[in-house]
Chains A and B, each alone.
Chain A
């Protein structure tokens, strides 16, 4: 089975440009998560979806960030306009149904290394 697929693997852009990160979760997984990893802040949850519906976007840093999940097999994280402080590794992860089942683990994609110059 294919794992979580993220694209692009690396993205270099200039400040002010729009950036779109893409994610294909594992088929059959009901939950999709977007995390950001930086040296200073570690792994932060930005937003997560259940059955394509955003459940918690409290981690989205500001209005420049937006995420969508138009169907069960695709999600995007968009930054517009991008800033140098957005430089980070962005991970997408998916999971089976959670509810109160605490033992469901997250399967992570390989991440997108974003550099904003």
Chain B
């Protein structure tokens, strides 16, 4: 069965430092997609970054990068130069198309990141 695991319920980071949020996944399908979403206290879900299982390079989007280690089945989010506005809940998610029509997105439990001034 597909599974997404985020083992860090909460994390603290000092402003301007980098932080890594962990995500591991489990699937037997060679083709899948991994996503990270941010949920600030206002509640909306904001897409951050995507990594495909066949992508040769690690995905990057501005200050966000994805440390993709396929053999270890991990897709950790790295936020560089943390800002106070990065304080939020972060969710890792996976789409595995072969398990259902179209491929629903399955979410991990989330990591709450707090950035200290």
Q: Which of B15-23, B69-77, B97-105 contacts A (4 or more CB under 8 A)?
A: B97-105
Contacts of B43 in A (CB 8 A): 89, 110-111, 113
Q: Is the CB of B101 within 8 A of A50?
A: yes
Q: Is the CB of A55 within 8 A of B47?
A: no
Q: Is the CB of B103 within 8 A of A98?
A: yes
Q: Is the CB of A55 within 8 A of B32?
A: no
Cα-based distance from A42 to B101 in the complex (angstroms): 23
Minimum CB–CB distance from A115 to chain B (whole Å) comes to 14
**In the complex, per-residue mask of A48-67: 1 if CB is within 8 Å of any chain B CB, else 0:** 10100001100000000000
Closest residue to A30 on the B side, CB-wise? Answer: B102
Cα-based distance from A53 to B59 in the complex (angstroms): 33
Q: Is B11 an interface residue (CB 8 A)?
A: no
Cα-based distance from A10 to B104 in the complex (angstroms): 26
Cα-based distance from A101 to B48 in the complex (angstroms): 18
Q: Is the CB of B104 within 8 A of A56?
A: yes
Q: Is the CB of A106 within 8 A of B105?
A: yes
Closest residue to A44 on the B side, CB-wise? Answer: B107
Q: Is the CB of B108 within 8 A of A102?
A: no
Given contacts A42-B107, A43-B107, contact A102 B102 (CB under 8 A): no
**In the complex, per-residue mask of A80-117: 1 if CB is within 8 Å of any chain B CB, else 0:** 00000000010101000011111101111011010000
Given contacts A42-B108, A43-B107, A48-B104, contact A100 B97 (CB under 8 A): yes
**In the complex, per-residue mask of A4-33: 1 if CB is within 8 Å of any chain B CB, else 0:** 000000000000000000000000000101
Q: Is the CB of B101 within 8 A of A55?
A: yes
Closest residue to A110 on the B side, CB-wise? Answer: B44
Q: Is B45 an interface residue (CB 8 A)?
A: yes
Given contacts A45-B104, A48-B104, A56-B104, contact A111 B97 (CB under 8 A): no
Contacts of B91 in A (CB 8 A): 43
Q: Is the CB of B35 within 8 A of A108?
A: no
Chain A positions within 8 Å of B, measured between CB atoms, are: 31, 33, 42-43, 45, 48, 50, 55-56, 89, 91, 93, 98-103, 105-108, 110-111, 113
A-B contact pairs, 5 of them (CB 8 A): A43-B110, A50-B102, A106-B45, A106-B47, A108-B37
